[in-house]
Amino acid sequence: MHLTAASLGTLPSSIQTPRYDRTAHAPGVVHLGLGAFHRAHQAMVFDQLLATGDTRWGIHGVGMTRPDLVNQLRAQDGLYAVRVADGQGVRWQVPGALWRMSVATTEREAVVQAMAATNTRWVTLTVTEKGYTPALAQLLLDGLRLRQQTGLPGITVASCDNLQGNGHKLLALVKAAATAQDTELLRWLDVQCAFPCSMVDRIVPAATPEVRAAAQEALGMQDHCALSTEGFWEWVIEDRFADPKDAALLQSAGVRVTNDVHSYEEAKLRMLNGSHSAMALMGAVTGRPFIASCIGVPHIREFVHRLMSREVAPHLSRSDWADYRDALIARFGNPYLKHSVHQIATDSSQKIPQRWPPSVLGQITQGASFEHHALAAAVFVRYTLGTDELGQTYSLSDPQADSLMALGSAQRSEPETCVRALLAREDLWGNALPSNAAWTARVIHWHQQVLQRGVDAAIQQLLAQ
């Protein structure tokens, strides 16, 4: 037996399940990007709203790249179990908000129709950093154009990816895809639609066989789509909605609605995601498989603590950063999460620009040290070799994998040339850092240490300074 609408009633009573009707209404939300994050974050917020009797939060989920996942979810009627586990306890929940599913590549027309459906009020996106392409903009624009031509009201289009000012970026991308004939549509977009910025946070590793086995044990049936996450979640969204009444509704479900998303975004991207990328690359190069295995090493923990306190925090507008830092370190250590370092190192070329350079530039402006970021950057260069310190090979999963590996390949024989070539890339470091001689010199220094003595010894040397 496996998890479906029909078998839902036979689950153990300890498992929280949807008690509302999942078939009587059309979805009100079209979500692009059906990865683990959305299913264990926003889908659970919308599940809470549905549980109050508000039937407008069912989701039409769109898989951008993975028809296999959509097929599995369809076979389970959009149902899947989530293990919520940390020091506070362990519980399982089956959220019920995912009502319909499509695949963007093969069912594009269904997605356009869904965006232009009468009941649709929101489009949300978690398509990852590299997903912000002209093709995405065209898909959105086609859906919005059909809506406008049909005379339907505007909607809220909320980017929920780890990009600073994500709502502004999405709106600019969509507008850039418009043609000269779209003047009326652009006016309608500005007046009737809303593109709020938002910061979303919950650590949700990609599903693993181990979690599926735990689900089978807890559910007493198979669940091919089971996920594991932590208790903590946060969604901070700009108070900018097509329907202003949504603000109070979201707040009632625990979402923070504010006009100051910026300070939350920058703190999250630089503290959480910035440390994540540093640890992921260190773990990949030293052969430590999970974030919890990295933060469990005293010198890596100390490195992360100092990176956040000394180089990130001074440039944040969030004043409670010390509590935030301590909470993050505790979250990184969650033993249930098994968050793979190679998963987080995926797409590093798209992630680093938001996560590291703003802090380095802040330190440079203040004449302060950026040693921790320089070491992290050196480990990134070392990572492009595709072999860890134990001699195990791994592949880089990154749209820039080929060019990164080509630039980094000769680093053992010509270390300085390779570091310079990788640091020269403005797509990674922005336009100020590549010409900063002090930054380049320190990354070259740490890279030498990493090659000669290994990542752990280099970290220890830095901590002793």
Residues in touch with ligand CS2 (CB under 6 A): 162, 201-203, 272-273, 276, 343-344, 351
- Minimum gap (Å) between residue 164 Cβ and ligand CS2: 13
φ/ψ of residue 125, rounded to 5: -135, 130
Q: CA 315, CA 110: separation in Å to the nearest integer?
A: 45
Closest C-alpha among 422, 421, 300, 311 to residue 365: 311
- Minimum gap (Å) between residue 233 Cβ and ligand CS2: 8
Exposed/middle/buried for residue 312 (C-beta within 10 Å: 0-12, 13-18, 19+):
buried
- Minimum gap (Å) between residue 317 Cβ and ligand CS2: 19
Residue among 261 and 444 whose Cβ is closer to ligand CS2: 261
- Minimum gap (Å) between residue 423 Cβ and ligand CS2: 21
- Minimum gap (Å) between residue 215 Cβ and ligand CS2: 21
Residue among 258 and 460 whose Cβ is closer to ligand CS2: 258
Strand bridging mode 59-63 / 98-103:
parallel
Residue among 212 and 351 whose Cβ is closer to ligand CS2: 351
Sheet bearing 82-86, strands edge to edge: 89-93, 82-86, 227-229
The CA radius of gyration of the chain, in Å to the nearest whole number, is 23
Q: CA 376, CA 351: separation in Å to the nearest integer?
A: 13
Q: CA 147, CA 121: separation in Å to the nearest integer?
A: 11
- Minimum gap (Å) between residue 203 Cβ and ligand CS2: 5
Closest residue by beta carbon to ligand CS2: 276
- Minimum gap (Å) between residue 440 Cβ and ligand CS2: 25
Q: CA 372, CA 281: separation in Å to the nearest integer?
A: 13
Residue among 201 and 266 whose Cβ is closer to ligand CS2: 201
Exposed/middle/buried for residue 183 (C-beta within 10 Å: 0-12, 13-18, 19+):
exposed
Buried b (16+ CB within 10 A) or exposed e, 428-465: bbbeebbebeebbebbbbbbebbbeeebbebbeebeee
Residue among 50 and 200 whose Cβ is closer to ligand CS2: 200
Point out which residues pair with 393 in neighbouring strands: 387
CA dihedral over 21, 22, 28, 33, signed as positive or negative: positive
- Minimum gap (Å) between residue 401 Cβ and ligand CS2: 16
Q: Which amino acid is at 77?
A: D
Residue among 137 and 163 whose Cβ is closer to ligand CS2: 163
Residue among 50 and 291 whose Cβ is closer to ligand CS2: 291
Point out which residues pair with 198 in neighbouring strands: 237
Residue among 77 and 201 whose Cβ is closer to ligand CS2: 201
Q: CA 205, CA 208: separation in Å to the nearest integer?
A: 8
Residue among 203 and 300 whose Cβ is closer to ligand CS2: 203
- Minimum gap (Å) between residue 201 Cβ and ligand CS2: 4
- Measured from the Cβ of residue 152, the count of other Cβ atoms closer than 10 Å reads 17
- Minimum gap (Å) between residue 311 Cβ and ligand CS2: 18
In 3-state terms the chain splits into helix, strand, coil percentages (rounded to 5) of 55, 10, 35
Token code pair at residue 223: 């669940």
Residue among 99 and 332 whose Cβ is closer to ligand CS2: 332
- Minimum gap (Å) between residue 321 Cβ and ligand CS2: 17
Residue among 12 and 399 whose Cβ is closer to ligand CS2: 399
Largest distance between two CA atoms of the chain = 66
